[in-house]
Structure formats: structure tokens, C-alpha cells
Amino acid sequence: MHKALVIGAGFAGLSAATCLAQAGWNVTLLEKHPTPGGRARSFAAEGFTFDMGPSWYWMPDVFERYFRRFGKRPSDYYDLIRLDPSYRVVFGPGDAVDLPADRAALKALFESIEKGSGQRLEAFLKEAAYKYHVGINELVYRPSRSVREFADPRLLFDMLRMHIFESFHHHARRYFTHPKLLQLVEFPILFLGAVPENTPALYSLMNYADMALGTWYPRGGMHKIVEGMVQLAQEQGVAFRFGEEVTHIDVRQGRATEVRTATNVYEADVVVAGADYHHVDQHLLAAEHRNYDAGYWDQRTMAPSSLLFYLGLNKKLENVRHHTLFFDAPFGPHARDIYETPRWPDKPLFYLSATSVTDASVAPAGHENLFLLLPLAPDLVDTDAHREQYFTRMMDRLEFHLGQNIRDAIVFKRSYAHRDFKQDYHAFKGNAYGLANTLRQTALLKPSLKNRHVSNLYYTGQLTVPGPGVPPSLISGQVVAQEISREWS
């Protein structure tokens, strides 16, 4: 039986390990931390349970497809709740809208903001649905290692029809003109780590995921997905080794022969790196075995980092939603600063998740569990003073919009930003999401899932195909396992 070593127990690593085990491999998964999940870890404090990273459950069909590979369903491991409203968007003082889960109600909301936009929304989503079904079912499960993968005339026609050479910015303005509606349809692009001007219009498929497939929540928190995936991996025979950070990959005669941690040495026939690609490439391998040089990595357009605050309150809040997006700061040039300008923004956008609104299990009775996220440019100097300055700005705006005092009710507070992403995940430039999904960093133009110099070393996760986000990471693990099975069959 062939042996596979997988580095990193995030979504991609778990997915790759489980698929390889199903294919008959003897799989050992090495994880730096004492618990699985990577950026989707959780922690408990003062009676509160916090998801540390991802907080949106979109594309439920991707999860269904993953578990179905093993004859299972997500419901075998966790319970899903569809949120209604899906989320709230704050545009300014006294100006907020709730996005309804019901399609007809959503259409009516658009119509109330811009006459004729309800019908245009239907046309926009019909086109987005086509992109979603072709993109998710045809494109993202491809390894993107050769142009031959896309040589099918039908697929080439589909790709042209999906506007891969048109910007999302231009595409959205063919349907809507009102600034609020443009903000609503452009916000999912933030999940891709880019701005609408340099994101292909293909990614209107995210609007279909948002507005048609819905926003969901796994009862108990996003980490319940991780727990389910770990249980499934163990059922398939994956062995876990926690608290084992990989320090070096030994290569002999063009093959990775040993993976070293501080306490052990592991041999394997195949190594799958689900840790930060840049870190593995630049720090775990000798220079002659690296896939790319430092200049290549410095030229990549990174998705943003984030300043996160985990707050526990000793009271319940009124009129708060599970998800709230604060667009009361100007959207446009300032949003672009998040991704392209290495400085702390003057007027930041931010996001609030209050999971205890939906799920009483994540906070003590009568308490509230809050998660604040402020997207920031990567590679910033991250100091406690900066964190507190922006905490004050967010709380001023949050208390103003809610009309309630929050700071006096805080009984637990923890922050997390660039230096934590670097320390915990070796995240390149302290990024939170990976590479931005720009046209020049799509499919074949992403870092390859296989090392060119080491024949049995593969990569998975948000810095390779198909890209950043929870569903793409889940897919990435399946794609790399598929490539390994094909090459080793």
C-alpha cells in the first residue's frame, strides 16, 4: 500500500487526505496545531465558542458533492440552518436593507431601489446560474496543468460565454446603475480577494451562490464542518498527528523522501502540502527544489489580510442580524486600498457576525457572541496600537448604527491580525485568503499544484487551484487527490 503524507489539517488538507485514503492509500496527516481546521479552527473562552476564521456557508452543493463521494451527506455530521434574511447591509445612518432568502422578495427589494432592476436581476442571475453550473461542475475540478484540459470546443465556447475577458465591474453595470445595487452585487467579489475592476465577470457565479443557493449556518459554528470532515477522514483510515510542525522536506534524486518535524521523521511515497504554499516552497525546500523564486512570489497579487475581534457580551443586543456588512464608508477607491495599497485605510469597511442570534449554544444564556472583521491590505506593520485604533472606529460606527452601548458589556475580547496569520499559518505577507482571483491569477496562471522539480510533491489549498474560500479549498483537496491517483494508478 502506497504511503501519503499530507501537511496541514485545513479544509484542503482534510479533503486531500480523505480522498487518498478512499483510493487505497495509507495516509498520515501532520498538523502544526493541537486541533484541526487551519484557519477554520475554533476556540472557547468564558463560556463562548468562537469560529476563528470562515463564517459564511455558501455553495451547499459543493459540500453535498464532497460527502456524497463517500456515500454520506453533510447532515450525517452537522445540521444546517438557512438564514433569512441572508444578511443585512448598512449603507449609512438609518439606511440599511435586509437581503431576503426568498427570490421573489429579493426581486421586489431590487425593484424598490431601482425601477426595472427586478427583472434585470432575473436576467443577471440566469446568466450567473449558467456560469455557476459550468464553472463549478466543469472548470474548478480541473487541475489546470495544461491548456489541453480546456481544448474541448464546447468548453471553449462556454468559457467565452462566461465573459472571462470582461471585468466584473463592467459586467455589473450592464444590469444595474444604482450605487446600492452595485454594492450588493459586487460585495461577494471581496471573498475572492480582488476588486471588481480586475476580477473576471465569470465570478458573477458568486451572486448565484449568494442569492439563489442561499446563506447557511452549521449549528454549533463553522468548525462543525471541520469536525465532520475529521470524523469522515478517520472512518476512511486517515491517521492524524497533531502538534507536529513540519520543519523540512528532504529531497533525493528528484523525490521527496522524508518529511521532518521537531520530533519525528516520516517517509512517504507522496507528499501533499496543504500548508501555506509560499512557506513550503521557500522555507521547507532547498533552493534547487523550489517551484518558484522569491521574485515570482513578490509579484503575486495577494488577497487581503484581516483584523479580527472576537467579543463576548454579557447582554443580548436588539435588532442585530447574524451577518451585517457595513458599507457606510465609501466603497470604491477605499475598497481598492484594501487590496492594492499597503497601508491602514482611512475609512474602513467592516463586517459583523453575531452567531448567537441564530445559535444559543455559542454563548452563555443572555449573552452575545460577536465576530468583527475588517479587511486590510497584506504586509502591513501590525501593532497593538493599530488594532485598538481600528477597534474604536468599528465600535463607534457599530454602536451608532445599533443605537446601543456595546463596549460596557464586553466580558471577553481577543484580536487577531497579520502577525497572528504569519505565526499560526506562516501566511505569506500575513494574508488571510490567499491569492486574489484576478484574470492573471486564474486557472493555468495560478501556482501549480505539482512541484516541477520534485516528482512526488503536490500542493493544495488557497494559493493554488481553484482559489481562495472554503468551497474552493474543499475542491482543491479533491483535485490534487485525483491527480495523484491518476499518476500513480
* Axis-axis angle for helices 11-22, 470-488 (nearest 10): 30
Q: Answer yes or no: is 185 within a domain.
A: yes
11: pLDDT strictly greater than 50? yes
Q: Identify the pLDDT of residue 339.
A: 55
pLDDT of residue 156: 61
pLDDT tens digits, one per residue of 466-479: 999 999 999 999 99
Q: Which domain holds residue 111?
A: 103-206
Please report whether residue 333 resides in a domain. no
The pLDDT of residue 132 is: 95
pLDDT band at 148 (very low <50, low <70, confident <90, very high): confident
Instruction: Indicate the pLDDT class of residue 334, thresholds 50, 70 and 90.
Output: very low
Q: Is 260 inside a domain boundary?
A: yes
Whether 257 is in a domain gets the answer: yes
**Above 60 in pLDDT, residue 337?**
no
What are the backbone dihedrals phi and psi of residue 306, each rounded to the nearest 5 degrees, phi first?
-150, 150
At 347, the pLDDT band (50, 70, 90 cuts) reads confident
Instruction: Enumerate residues 6+ apart whose C-beta is below 8 A from 374.
Output: 306, 307, 308, 348, 349, 350, 351, 390, 394
Mean pLDDT for all residues in the chain: 94
Q: Single out the residue in 146, 176, 206 at which a domain terminates.
A: 206
Position 151 pLDDT exceeds 80 = no
114 and 199 within one domain:
yes
Give the total number of structural domains in the chain. 2
Mean pLDDT of 330-358: 75
User: What residue has cell string 496543468?
Assistant: 145
Looking at the fold, whether 119 and 193 belong to one and the same domain comes out as: yes
**Residues 195, 132 share a domain:** yes
Work out the percent of the chain whose per-residue pLDDT is above 70: 95
pLDDT digits (tens, 9 = 90+) for 57-72: 999 999 999 999 999 9
Task: Tell me what pLDDT residue 346 has.
Answer: 81
CA 164/CA 157 separation, integer angstroms: 11
Predicted pLDDT at 331 = 47
What's residue 336's pLDDT? 55
Query: Region 291-295: what's the mean pLDDT?
Result: 97
190 and 230 part of one domain: no
Same domain for 192 and 237? no
Q: Is residue 259 part of a domain?
A: yes
Nearest to 351 by CA among 370, 328, 325, 327: 325
202, 137: one domain: yes
In the predicted model, what is the mean pLDDT of residues 136-157? 80
Same domain, 236 and 280: yes
pLDDT in tens, 76-104: 999 999 999 999 999 999 999 999 999 99
Buried b (16+ CB within 10 A) or exposed e, 16-45: bbbbbbbbebbbbbbbbbebbbbbbbbeee
Which of the listed residues 177, 206, 235 is the one where a domain comes to its end? 206
**295 plus 444 within the same structural domain:** yes
Tell me: pLDDT of 439 over 90.
Answer: no
Residue 460 has pLDDT above 50, yes or no: yes
* pLDDT tens by residue, 374-429: 999 899 999 999 999 999 999 999 999 999 999 999 999 999 999 999 999 999 99
Look up the pTM and report it: 0.96
Kindly report the CATH number assigned to the domain that includes residue 38.
Answer: 3.50.50.60
Residue 428 resides in a domain = no
* Cell numbers at 382, concatenated: 501590525
**Quick one: CA dihedral 257, 259, 264, 268, positive or negative?**
negative
**130 and 69 co-located in one domain:** no
Residue 28 has pLDDT above 90, yes or no: yes
Cell of 168: 466584473
CA 257, CA 252: separation in Å to the nearest integer?
6
Beta partners for residue 434, in sequence order: none
Tens digits of per-residue pLDDT, 157-203?
Answer: 666 677 888 999 999 999 999 999 999 999 888 766 678 888 889 89
For 436, list phi and psi in degrees, rounded to 5.
Answer: -70, 145
Per-residue pLDDT tens for 98-143?
A: 999 999 999 999 999 999 999 999 999 999 999 999 888 888 999 9
CA distance 180 to 120: 15
Q: Where is the domain boundary, 206, 235, 252?
A: 206
Is residue 12 within 8 Å of 474, Cβ to Cβ?
yes
Residues 182 and 254 in one domain: no
Residue 154: band (very low, low, confident or very high) from pLDDT cuts 50, 70, 90? low
Give yes or no: residues 115 and 199 share one domain.
Answer: yes
Can you tell me the mean pLDDT for 258-271? 97
Phi and psi for 50 in degrees, rounded to 5?
-115, 130
The more confident residue out of 480 and 196 is 480
State yes or no: cis peptide before 468, omega within 30 of 0: no
pLDDT tens string 201-231: 989 999 999 999 999 999 999 999 999 999 9
Q: Is 373 among the domain residues? A: no
Do 66 and 17 reside in the same domain of the chain? yes
Residue 280 lies in a domain: yes
